[in-house]
Structure 1
Amino acid sequence: MARTHPEGWRLLPAEGARGRELATLARLAAALPEDTTIYHSLHWTRAEGRTAVFGEVDFAVVGPGGRVLLVEQQAGFLDETPTGLLRPGRRRAAQLSVELARNADALRARLRPLLDGTEPVLDVLLHCPDHCVRQPGTAGLDPERIVDAGRRDQLPAIVAALTRPQEGDPALDAAHRQALHRFFADLLELVPDVQSHIGQVEDLTTRLSGGLTEWARRIVVEPHRLRVTATAGSGKTQLALAAYTDALAAGRRPLYVCYNRPLADHFARIAPAGGEIATYHQLCDRRVRDAGRKPAFGAPGAFRRMEADFATLVREQPDPAWQFDELIIDEGQDFTEPWRDALLALLKPAGRAWWLEDPLQNLYDRPPVALPGWVGLSADTNYRTPADVLALLNARLPLPAPVRAGSPVTDSEPEIFAWRDEAGLMDATKRAITRALGLGFRRDAIVLLTFRGREHSRFTPLDHLGPHRLRAFTGRYDLLGEPEHSQGELLIDSVYRFKGQSAPCILFTEIDFETTGGRMDELTMRKLFVGATRATMKLILVASERAAAALAPVAEAG
Structure 2
Amino acid sequence: MPQIYPSGWRELAVTGAAAREIETLNLFAARLPDALTVYHGVHWTKIENGFSVYGEIDFIIVAPNGRMLLIEQKAGFLSETPEGLVKNYPGRTEHVRQQMLQMVEGLAARFDKTGGDRLDVDYLLYFPDYKVKNPALAGIEPSRVVDAGNRTRLVELITALLPVTAETPQHGRVRKFLGDVLQLTPDASAMVGRAEELVTRLSQGLAVWARQLEFSPFRLRVVGTAGSGKTQLALAEFQAAVEAGLRPLYVCYNRPLADRVQHLVPAGGRVGTFHMLCDTFARESGATPDYSAPGAWADMEKAFDSAPIPPSWMHDVLIIDEGQDFAEPWRDAMLRLLRPEGRALWLEDPLQNLYGRSPVPLPGWVTLHSQSNYRSPRQIVDLLTAIVPDTERIQAASPFLGVEVDWLVYPDNDAVAMAEAAKQAITRCLAANFARSDIALLSFQGRAHSALLQADRLGQHTLRSFTGGYDLLGNPVYRDGQLLAESVYRFKGQSAPAVILAEIDFEALDDRAVRKLFVGMTRARLKLVLVISDRAAALLRARLHAG
Q: TM-score, normalised by structure 2?
A: 0.64
Alignment of 1:160-309 (within 5 A): 199-208=193-202, 211-309=205-303
Separation in 1, partners of 2:204, 2:303: 42
Query: What residue is the counterpart of 1:530 in the other structure?
Result: 519
- Report the more deviating stretch, 400-409 or 376-385: 400-409
Alignment of 1:386-401 (within 5 A): 386-398=377-389, 400-401=391-392
Do the aligned partners of 1:78 and 1:131 also contact (CA within 8 Å) in 2? no
Query: What residue is the counterpart of 1:369 in the other structure?
Result: 360
Do the aligned partners of 2:466 and 2:478 also contact (CA within 8 Å) in 1? yes
Deviation at 1:397? 3.9
Does the alignment pair 1:519 with 2:512?
no
Separation in 2, partners of 1:202, 1:425: 30
Do the aligned partners of 2:443 and 2:453 also contact (CA within 8 Å) in 1? no
Do the aligned partners of 1:392 and 1:554 also contact (CA within 8 Å) in 2? no
Structure 1 residues 361 and 531: alpha-carbon distance in aligned structure 2, compared to 1, 3 A threshold: same
Deviation at 1:467? 2.2
**One-letter amino acid of the structure 1 residue matched with residue 294 of structure 2:** P
Structure 1 residues 232 and 470: alpha-carbon distance in aligned structure 2, compared to 1, 3 A threshold: same
**One-letter amino acid of the structure 2 residue matched with residue 17 of structure 1:** I
Structure 1 residues 479 and 301: alpha-carbon distance in aligned structure 2, compared to 1, 3 A threshold: closer
Separation in 2, partners of 1:232, 1:495: 14
Structure 1 residues 210 and 539: alpha-carbon distance in aligned structure 2, compared to 1, 3 A threshold: closer
Separation in 1, partners of 2:372, 2:328: 28
Query: What residue is the counterpart of 1:436 in the other structure?
Result: 429
Deviation at 1:323? 0.5
- Report the more deviating stretch, 538-547 or 468-477: 468-477
Per-residue CA deviations over 1:163-212 (Å, capped at 9, x if unaligned) read xxxxxxxxxxxxxxxxxxxxxxxxxxxxxxxxxxx634422224428611
Query: Which residue of 320, 331, 336 maps to 1:329?
Result: 320
Query: What residue is the counterpart of 2:530 in the other structure?
Result: 541
RMSD: 3.0
Query: What residue is the counterpart of 1:350 in the other structure?
Result: 341
Structure 1 residues 413 and 438: alpha-carbon distance in aligned structure 2, compared to 1, 3 A threshold: same
Separation in 1, partners of 2:293, 2:283: 17
Separation in 2, partners of 1:327, 1:131: 56
Identity %, equivalent residues = 51
Deviation at 1:336? 1.1
Alignment of 1:394-409 (within 5 A): 394-398=385-389, 400-409=391-400
Separation in 2, partners of 1:216, 1:201: 24
Does the alignment pair 1:17 with 2:47?
yes
Alignment of 1:433-472 (within 5 A): 433-472=426-465
Separation in 1, partners of 2:545, 2:452: 29
Q: Give secondary structure in 1 for the equivalent of 2:202.
A: coil
Per-residue CA deviations over 1:239-278 (Å, capped at 9, x if unaligned) read 1000000111111110110010001001001110111111
Separation in 1, partners of 2:258, 2:441: 21
- Report the more deviating stretch, 327-336 or 453-462: 453-462
Deviation at 1:437? 2.0
**One-letter amino acid of the structure 1 residue matched with residue 289 of structure 2:** P
Do the aligned partners of 1:510 and 1:543 also contact (CA within 8 Å) in 2? yes
Separation in 2, partners of 1:480, 1:303: 14
Do the aligned partners of 2:447 and 2:454 also contact (CA within 8 Å) in 1? no
Query: Which residue of 481, 493, 497 maps to 2:486?
Result: 493
Q: Give secondary structure in 1 for the equivalent of 2:324.
A: helix
Do the aligned partners of 2:402 and 2:527 also contact (CA within 8 Å) in 1? no
Separation in 2, partners of 1:441, 1:209: 24
- Report the more deviating stretch, 524-533 or 438-447: 438-447
Structure 1 residues 292 and 488: alpha-carbon distance in aligned structure 2, compared to 1, 3 A threshold: closer
Do the aligned partners of 1:288 and 1:294 also contact (CA within 8 Å) in 2? yes
**One-letter amino acid of the structure 2 residue matched with residue 373 of structure 1:** G
Separation in 1, partners of 2:526, 2:379: 10
Do the aligned partners of 2:352 and 2:516 also contact (CA within 8 Å) in 1? yes
Query: Which residue of 391, 405, 410 maps to 2:401?
Result: 410
Structure 1 residues 404 and 243: alpha-carbon distance in aligned structure 2, compared to 1, 3 A threshold: same
**One-letter amino acid of the structure 1 residue matched with residue 247 of structure 2:** R
Query: What residue is the counterpart of 1:509 in the other structure?
Result: 502
Do the aligned partners of 2:508 and 2:539 also contact (CA within 8 Å) in 1? no
Separation in 1, partners of 2:256, 2:433: 27
**One-letter amino acid of the structure 1 residue matched with residue 496 of structure 2:** A
Do the aligned partners of 2:442 and 2:487 also contact (CA within 8 Å) in 1? yes
Deviation at 1:445? 1.3
Alignment of 1:416-427 (within 5 A): 416-420=407-411, 421-427=414-420
Separation in 1, partners of 2:543, 2:77: 49
Separation in 2, partners of 1:206, 1:432: 27
**One-letter amino acid of the structure 2 residue matched with residue 360 of structure 1:** L
5+ residue gaps, structure 2, are 1-42, 52-73, 81-85, 95-191
Deviation at 1:288? 2.0
Do the aligned partners of 2:203 and 2:228 also contact (CA within 8 Å) in 1? no
**One-letter amino acid of the structure 2 residue matched with residue 235 of structure 1:** G
5+ residue gaps, structure 1, are 1-12, 22-74, 82-87, 90-126, 133-197
Q: Give secondary structure in 1 for the equivalent of 2:452.
A: coil
Separation in 2, partners of 1:80, 1:217: 51
Do the aligned partners of 1:265 and 1:482 also contact (CA within 8 Å) in 2? no
Per-residue CA deviations over 1:466-493 (Å, capped at 9, x if unaligned) read 2222222234567998755333222211
Structure 1 residues 378 and 453: alpha-carbon distance in aligned structure 2, compared to 1, 3 A threshold: same
Separation in 1, partners of 2:247, 2:446: 36
Do the aligned partners of 2:203 and 2:232 also contact (CA within 8 Å) in 1? no
Query: What residue is the counterpart of 1:108 in the other structure?
Result: none
Do the aligned partners of 2:203 and 2:229 also contact (CA within 8 Å) in 1? no
Deviation at 1:356? 0.4
Per-residue CA deviations over 1:54-74 (Å, capped at 9, x if unaligned) read xxxxxxxxxxxxxxxxxxxxx
Separation in 2, partners of 1:448, 1:456: 15
Separation in 2, partners of 1:277, 1:220: 25
Separation in 1, partners of 2:466, 2:442: 12
Q: Give secondary structure in 2 for the equivalent of 1:541.
A: strand
Do the aligned partners of 2:410 and 2:532 also contact (CA within 8 Å) in 1? yes
Do the aligned partners of 1:414 and 1:553 also contact (CA within 8 Å) in 2? no
Separation in 1, partners of 2:303, 2:258: 22
Separation in 1, partners of 2:199, 2:329: 36
